[in-house]
Amino acid sequence: MYKAEFTNATGNYEHTYYYNFALPSSGWIYGNAECNGYSQTVDGYINGYGTAPNDPPAPAISVAGRSSGDSVPVGTTITVYYSATDTNGNLNGIRYHAWNSSTGFHDDNFGNYVTQSGSSGQVTKNFTLSTAGDWYFWTDARDTPGLTASTPAFGSGFKITAYVNSTTYCVPAYAPSYWNDWSTIQYNNNCYNYSNNVRTDTFAQPGRASGNMYSSINATEVSNGAISDGLIPTDAWSVDPDGRTKIALVIDPGWDFHWYRQDSDGRWSHKPGGTSATNLDNSGNLITNPETADRGGYTEFVGYFFTPSDCAQGQGHAVIN
């Protein structure tokens, strides 16, 4: 008898005994296997023997807007895509892993193989790099067409280095005269520019600078684009210890998005497209809370983010375009 891992129909594996198998040098086996009383014909590969089968899983990792070896400030949230497809085009069960070299922290699902869903064949995880040091991301996969058992195939690691940012951030004052010049600045910088306090003259879009621009107007797509640009999700009450500025995202469902920023006086202001920056809502009231302000058609309040701003108008540190 040979003991091997038996993959069941849900993508999890169990231990079983294979019997009546001749073990050729290649490691391939064919015959009957029994697991918890269930008998199944097996055409598979015994862990640790011979060469890989002709349709092994091919695990892959990518990180939205990042390359392996990139460095980002501590607190950055990254989006990691784990995937695996064998040479026959079958989606494989995969396990995701993240590990910090400084603290030994890890976030993974070593126990179970996750069944992929959707045509993308991906499992998506967001990780906030809360500790300085090298962060490694990797995946392994199991070929699971039916009840075929196979050796896990390991993908190459992906490294992002998180560093402590020595830049001093500052919450800007409400200073509409800088933005309302009735010329280049006003007409070419929109709500995303204004909320991040970054003049680009390009009508900046969430995720465009980092290669992860939204593909449709909804909370998830626009938020992920902003996170890819380095914005940090937060809540209504938190204060960033490094002095980042709080901004807020709202959606006009299926049509448009809009951003507000909290100025140094605690009130909120915004700049709708190429129009003037203002600290008034659609009813002409000072904005003390973007959740309750009259936002017109922007009926969906998505949430708050921190951005690395600066006291100088137009000189924020977020990388947007």
Residue 252 lies in a domain: yes
- How far, in Å, CA of 88 to CA of 103, rounded? 40
Q: pLDDT tens for residues 266-301?
A: 999 999 999 999 999 999 999 999 999 999 999 999
- State residue 40's pLDDT score: 46
**Parallel/antiparallel/unpaired status of strands 153-154 and 133-142:** antiparallel
- How far, in Å, CA of 61 to CA of 139, rounded? 7
- How far, in Å, CA of 317 to CA of 243, rounded? 12
Residues 137 and 243 in one domain: no
Q: Is the pLDDT of residue 236 over 50?
A: yes
Distance of CA 275 to the CA centre of its chain: 32
Q: pLDDT tens for residues 63-98?
A: 888 888 888 888 888 888 877 776 666 666 677 777
For the segment 212-237, the average pLDDT, to the nearest whole number, is: 95
Residues 183 and 154 in one domain: no
Q: What angle do CA 137, 142, 145 make, to 5 degrees?
A: 140
Residues 270 and 235 in one domain: yes
Percent of the chain with pLDDT over 90: 46
Q: Which amino acid is at 31?
A: G
Least confident of 67-81, 110-124, 295-309: 110-124
Residue 314 lies in a domain: no
- State residue 152's pLDDT score: 41
- Most confident listed range (84-93, 115-124, 146-155): 84-93
With contact defined as beta carbons under 8 Å apart, do 49 and 23 qualify? yes
Residues 230 and 301 in one domain: yes
- State residue 112's pLDDT score: 56
**Domain count of the fold of the chain:** 3
- How far, in Å, CA of 62 to CA of 82, rounded? 7
Alpha-carbon distance values, 143 to 32, 80, 92, 112 (Å) = 18, 21, 5, 13
- How far, in Å, CA of 318 to CA of 321, rounded? 10
Q: Is the pLDDT of residue 116 over 60?
A: no
pTM: 0.54
- State residue 150's pLDDT score: 37
Residue 51 lies in a domain: no
Residue whose C-alpha is closest to residue 57's, from 29, 94, 27, 30:
94
- State residue 89's pLDDT score: 64
Is 134 or 47 the better-scoring residue by pLDDT? 134
Burial of 167 (0-12, 13-18, 19+ CB in 10 A): exposed
Least confident of 76-80, 225-229, 253-257: 76-80
Alpha-carbon distance values, 21 to 18, 76, 152 (Å) = 7, 52, 21
Residues 128 and 223 in one domain: no
Residues 198 and 287 in one domain: yes
Residue whose C-alpha is closest to residue 222's, from 191, 258, 195:
258
DSSP per residue over 211-280, as a string?
T---SSSSHHHHHHHHHHTT-EEE-SS---TT-PEEEEEEEETTTEEEEEEE-TTS-EEE--TTS--BSB
Q: Is the pLDDT of residue 303 over 80?
A: yes
Residues 181 and 276 in one domain: yes
Is 126 or 304 the better-scoring residue by pLDDT? 304
Range of the domain at 22: 2-45
With contact defined as beta carbons under 8 Å apart, do 188 and 273 qualify? no
* CATH of residue 122: 2.60.40.10
Q: How confident is the model at residue 19 (pLDDT cuts 50, 70, 90)?
A: very low
Mean pLDDT of the chain: 77
Q: pLDDT tens for residues 192-212?
A: 999 999 999 999 999 999 999
Q: Helix-strand-coil percent breakdown of the chain, rounded to 5?
A: 10, 35, 55
Residues 181 and 279 in one domain: yes
- State residue 69's pLDDT score: 83
Q: Is the pLDDT of residue 261 over 50?
A: yes
Q: Which amino acid is at 251?
A: I
Least confident of 34-38, 112-116, 226-230, 310-314: 34-38
Boundary (domain end) residue, out of 103, 137, 163: 163
Q: pLDDT tens for residues 46-65?
A: 443 333 444 556 677 888 88
